[in-house]
Amino acid sequence: MREIKTGEITRTVKELYLEASYVLNDDLLISLEEALSNEESVTGRDILGRLLENAKTARAESVPVCQDTGVAIVFLELGQDLHITGGDLQKAIDEGIRQGCREGFLRASIVADPLRRENTGDNTPPLVHTEIVPGDRLKITVAAKGAGSENMSTIRMMIPGTEPEEITEFVVEWVEGAGANSCPPVIVGVGLGGNFEEAPLRAKKSLLLPIGSRNPDPFYAEMEVAIIDRLNQTGIGPGGLGGRATCLDCHILTSPCHIASLPVAINLDCPVTRHKTAVL
Ligand code: SF4
pLDDT of residue 3: 97
Based on the fold, state whether residues 228 and 135 are members of the same structural domain: no
Is the C-beta atom of 146 inside 6 A of ligand 1? yes
- Flag whether 54 is in a domain: no
Residue 44 falls within a domain, yes or no?
A: no
113 and 126 together in one domain: yes
Instruction: Please tell me the distance between residue 67's alpha carbon and the centre of ligand 1 in angstroms.
Output: 8
Q: Which of 67, 107, 149 to mutate to test the pocket of ligand 1 (most atoms within 8 A of CB)?
A: 149
pLDDT given at position 25? 98
- Asked if 124 contacts 69 with a C-beta cutoff of 8 angstroms, the reply is no
Q: What's the 271 CA to ligand 1 centre distance in angstroms?
A: 7
Asked if residue 112 and residue 7 are part of one domain, the reply reads yes
Domain count, the chain: 2
Kindly state whether residues 131 and 190 are assigned to the same domain. Answer: no
**Could you tell which of 21, 52, 153, 270 is best to mutate to test the pocket of ligand 1, judged by most ligand atoms within 8 Å of the CB?**
270
Task: Kindly report, residue by residue over 154-165, the tens digit of the pLDDT.
Answer: 999 999 999 999
Q: Which atom of ligand 1 is nearest to the CA of 70?
A: 7
For residue 173, give every residue at least 6 positions away whose Cβ sits within 8 Å of its Cβ, in sequence order, or none. Answer: none
Query: How many angstroms does the Cα of residue 21 sit away from the middle of ligand 1?
Result: 12
Residues 120 and 159 in one domain: no
Ligand 1 centre and the CA of 36: distance in Å?
19
Over residues 73-129, the pLDDT tens digits come to 999 999 999 999 999 999 999 999 999 999 999 999 999 999 999 999 999 999 999
Residue 56 is predicted with a pLDDT of 98
Q: Is residue 35 part of a domain?
A: no
Are residues 141 and 6 part of one domain? yes
Whether 269 is in the pocket of ligand 1, judged by its Cβ within 6 Å, is no
**Are 138 and 230 in the same domain?**
no
Can you give the pLDDT at residue 212?
96
Q: From ligand 1's centre to the CA of 148, what distance in Å?
A: 5
Q: 131 and 263: one domain?
A: no
Q: What pLDDT band is residue 23 in, cutting at 50, 70 and 90?
A: very high
Q: Full-prediction pTM beyond 0.95?
A: yes
120-152: pLDDT as tens digits:
999 999 999 999 999 999 999 999 999 999 999
Could you please report the per-residue DSSP string of the chain?
-EEEEHHHHHHHHHHHHHHHHH---HHHHHHHHHHHHH---HHHHHHHHHHHHHHHHHHHHT--SSS---EEEEEEEEETTEEEESS-HHHHHHHHHHHHHHHTT-----BSSTTT--B-SS-PSPEEEEEEESSS-EEEEEEEE-HHHHHT-EEEEEPTT--HHHHHHHHHHHHHHHGGGG-SSEEEEEEEEE-TTHHHHHHHHHTTSPTT---SSHHHHHHHHHHHHHHTTS---GGGSSSS-SEEEEEEEEEEE-TT-EEEEEEEE-TT-EEEEEE-
Q: CB of 190 within 8 A of CB of 270?
A: no
* 16 and 132 share one domain: yes
Domain, as residue range, for 109: 2-21+65-145
In this predicted structure, what is the pLDDT of residue 245? 98
Q: Cα(213)–Cα(211) distance, rounded to whole angstroms?
A: 6
Q: How far apart are CA 79 and CA 179, in angstroms?
A: 41
Does residue 31 belong to any structural domain of this protein? Answer: no
The pLDDT, as a whole number, for residue 220 is 98
Instruction: Return the ligand 1 atom nearest residue 147 CA.
Output: 6
Q: In terms of domains, do 9 and 139 share one?
A: yes
Does the beta carbon of 279 lie inside 6 Å of ligand 1? no
Side by side, which strands form the sheet with 274-279?
127-133, 71-79, 138-145, 274-279
pLDDT digits (tens, 9 = 90+) for 249-271: 999 999 999 999 999 999 999 99
- Indicate if 134 and 219 belong to the same structural domain: no
Q: 70 CB less than 6 Å from ligand 1?
A: yes
> Which pLDDT value is given to residue 22?
98
